[in-house]
Each structure stands twice: as C-alpha cells, then as structure tokens.
Structure 1
Amino acid sequence: MTGHQPQNWQSLAPPVGSPFRPRLGDLALDLAKDGRIGVVVDIPGDTASSYHLREPGGGGDWRAPGTGATLRPVAVPVTHVTLRRAEPVLDRRARQVGLAVGVHHEDGHSTDSLMVLLWKEAKDLCQALTRMVAEAAPPVSAELPRTAESAATARMLIREVLTYWDLAHLTEPAALIISELVGNAVTHTEGGVIRLAVKKLDVEGVRITVSDCSHARPLPRTPCPEALKGRGLTLVDAFASAWGTDPEPEGKRVWAEVRA
C-alpha cells in the first residue's frame, strides 16, 4: 500500500517553529517521502532517536527525524460531538449562540471546541430537542369511576406523573385543574367511567384531558359571592395557559394546558 500526498497538505502543516511531534498510534504525513502516510509505531526517546513509521495495513517501515520537521498531521475523521456545558454563550450583537462541545475523533482523542449557531439555527435546534423530549415521555392515561372520590385519585395521579417528568413545579395548578375537571364530570354527566390523560407537551408544559359520555359543552359560570360551588371552570380558566372542549363520538373531552 503506497501513501499519497493530499493536494492541500500545506493547510495541515503546523505553524513555523512548531514542529509536529506525533504520539504513538498517530497518523503522520512525511514530506521527505513525497507525502507518504504512516502510523507512528515508535517515538524518539531512550531507545530511539527518530520516529518509526509504518504504512497502514502492515506495509513498509521507515524513519523520520526526531525533530518532527518533515512530519505533518493527517486529519482524523470526527466520529461524534458531545455537549461540554448546557449553558449557551449568547452574542446578542452578532445574533449568535455558542455551545461548548467536545469533538471526538476516530483515533480516540478529543478536543474542546465551540459550536456557533445563528439565532434561527439555535431556535430550530431548540424546537427539535423539545419535540424529542416530549416524544420520549408517552402520555399517561387512566379510567376512574364517576364518584366523588375520583377527584382525589386524579390529584394523586398528576402529582406522581409530574414528579416523574421533573415537572413538580407545575403540581399545584395542575392538581387544581384536574380536580375541577373531574369534579365537573362527576357532577354534570352520566355514565359510570371518567377517562383521564396527561401528555407532556415540551420541557415546561403538559396537557390534561378529562373525557366523559356527555355531549353538553361546559361553560364557566359566575356564582353569587356566598355560593360554595360553581367556580370550577373559572378556576381552570385562571390557572390554565389554554383550555377547551372537543367533541367525541361518545361524549366530549375537556382539556387544559399548564405551563411554567
């Protein structure tokens, strides 16, 4: 196997005065051998005064000066990039975002670098990651009997789900909303079962759905000040970022979204 000289080998050369001193196992291009490429199998030290190179795949051997003056690095393919720090570096004037990353190469070594993204690229990346996070958390569903005790069961369910999803800070409004929606279904509908579903929308939001067998659309009411009931949907409207009702063949589903 005969090495070859890349057309742009000059661009691989280190700065003048900084000879390339490869490590064992590195690939090196030898200018004195017409660009021949070899694997470094021995380096200058107590037992050798020069570099010992061997063609990849077990070809011929040769030696190069121990100063590294005739050697140049060979670009090693990148295998993957990992995030070093989660906090981005913002350049508002240039409208760019920088991410500290580690670049990992085929030969096993890695280097620190900075991935620079334009605002739009950063936004697109954020949206893609948000979708991936949401898809990684499948919806949670349950069927509860249409009894007064189901509101407490629903609150317990939402607390467990949000804690598991690292969204415990949404527990208070979410528990209130699911309790009111279940309470409305128990009080104002017929049938023996209420269906619940909780879906993660993104890293900071969930959608709560309560389905029942009634086609009647719930509407917020304004009870008199001394009334003890009738404020359920008013509270939902106050604590939800959005809510609504969708018809179903066997009834309806009332949904509410909760965000930080």
Structure 2
Amino acid sequence: MTQIIRTVADLRALVRGWKAAGDVVGVVPTMGALHEGHLSLARAAKADCARVIVTIFVNPKQFNNPDDLTKYPRTEAADADLLRPLGVDVIFAPSPDEVYPTGFATAVTMAGVAQPLEGALRPGHFDGVATVVAKLFGMTMADRGYFGQKDWQQLQVVKRLVRDLNIPVWVVGCETIREADGLAMSSRNAQLSIAGRAIAPALFVAMTRAAAALRAGDATALATCQTEVLAAGFERVEYIELRDASSLDPAEGLDRPLRLLAAAWLQGVRLIDNIPL
C-alpha cells in the first residue's frame, strides 16, 4: 500500500526500518503533474530497489519566473492514483515550509556543467535544483536516485553534485519517453492547444535530421534545424547546440559522446529536448 508522508521525521522513521532490514531504497524526485515519463522512472526504481519513494514537491527555488511557479500544475490526488498500481511504497509530499523552514539560509551553488545553455538562460535555476536534490537525498536517505534524460543538463548537474559533495547516492539516468509522434513527454505539453500539440513534434523531427546531417559532416546542420523549427510554427528558438555529452562544453569533434540539445517556444510554452549524436 502506498503511503503519503509529509514530514521528514515520519519519512526517516520509516526508512530507518527499511535500512535496518537491508533494503535498497530508490527515490524518484518529481514536481508532480505526472505522466508516463515519470511513471517509467518509478518502474525502473521498482525493478532495482526493494523500496521506492516518489517525491512530489514544486520547488520554488528553481523557478526564475514567479508566474511560472504559480501556473505549474498541482495534481497530487491524480498523481497518487497513477503511482499506487506501480507498488510505490511512499509518496513524499512535503510543504514548502517543511523543505525550507523559517531561517533556512543554505544553498548549493553550481558552476561548470550548470553554467551553459539552461544555466545561462535561467540564472540560479540549477542552484535551486541542486539545493533541493541534495535535501531530498538527505531527507529520503535513498541509495539510488532516478532522473529522466529529457532534462539532460539537469541529469549531468545531479551527477556532478553527488560526485563533488560525496553524496552516497547512485544516480540513474533513464531514457526519454516520447509520444507516438516523437514529442518528448512533459507536464508542459498539456498547456498547448490542439493546434500547438500538432506542431510540437517538429522540434524532435528537425533535431533528428540535424543529427544525421552533423554525422555526415554538414556544417550548416544547426542553422538548418533552427530554420525548420521556426518554419513549423515555433515562435522562438533559444538554442540548438551540439555539446559534449558529459561536460556540456562546445563540441570540438565527433570523436566523443555528444548531445544535441534544444529549447524553443511554442504558444508561450517552453519545450526542451535532446538526442545523442
């Protein structure tokens, strides 16, 4: 039976019992508004771990725009209905005051992999991500943490976080889950109109073509990709860039693992995606 727990004290009391029994504990950090991508992470955790915690917490510290924070969907009851059939042990859904109590004065500041792309466009975003993930790892006392590859830069940030701070959590990156037409699943997709939803897969289609062109040595592939995305009906492209898959430094050749990453706006909704090269 899936329990909903709201305080760190109650959660730790339960997890200590699991640990005493030798159970491996997995955590899936989410902000709720769950979709099949999140559920795939929970299934991966269930396959690896004796006990699984899914956290649902809309983290105010990673939002640059207060309106975006206000608009972010909060669907805890529906989320719980999706998780129960998967056999998740606990939904940890703390209040903001439980996570950031009065007098909270500590933050994790990230450089390196957190600085380009999303980091440059959303100042402080990854500091907020790193701070809450560090706290969630400490609160849950998890052994393994599960994150989707759709947020590729975030995944690299979390990997660097646990490495640099010696946090004893194994970070597992799980494949991006896509709709039948290729659109990466995201809670933000629900904000698109029917017409916008029909346009949205063009980002993945253009990126797939660009990746093939880059492999073939086409130096114009990224510019062509941007043109195709705008022609499909996107209002603005923030970036379409080829980067080192791990460091996110600009790619200097095709002799190492690379990632093609993009962010673009459609109907006022910011969509991101990435694919390996």
The verdict on a shared fold, with TM-score over 0.5 as the criterion, is no
Judging by fraction of residues, say which structure has more helix.
Answer: 2
Structure with the higher strand share, 1 or 2:
1
Question: TM-score, normalised to structure 1's length?
Answer: 0.22
Structure 2 length as normaliser, TM-score?
A: 0.21
Between structure 1 and structure 2, the one with the greater Rg is 1
